[in-house]
Structure 1
Amino acid sequence: MTNFDLYAPAPAAREGELEGDLASLRGDCARMVPHWPPARIVSRPVSPSLIHGVSVPPASARLLDAMSEYGD
């Protein structure tokens, strides 16, 4: 794996080219890593018996009722 200089400026784009190449994109991403939040922990599924007070609008219920089951 390449160790990028995190504070080096991105190379200037030449006329007629896009703003940079893959290496400059990877460098930009490496500089942004400290600004990204840590990965979230995925919650576990909740038992349906613990879910109370959920309401579904009638139009959504009709839409779901009209859909065929998976594999039909």
Structure 2
Amino acid sequence: MTKLEIHGAAPFDQEGDLASLRGDCARMVPHWAAPERTASRPVPPSLIHGVSVPAASARLLDSMSEYGD
């Protein structure tokens, strides 16, 4: 059996701005492994079914005027 370590969630900043969002992303970079670059091919529209966004992310982006109102 694998022992999973659970860390507390990062504090959510409802009043954050684009700079703090970019800072959060920069701190996460070491945790992400990028695959080797490959040539992308077009995806037929029939295979695209939509995008789901977590509610917390949608609220954060909705409250940021840099993304438009």
TM normalised by structure 1 equals: 0.30
TM normalised by structure 2 equals: 0.31
Higher RCO structure (Cα 8 Å, ≥6 apart): 2
Query: Rg: which structure is higher?
Result: 1
* Higher helix content, 1 or 2: 2
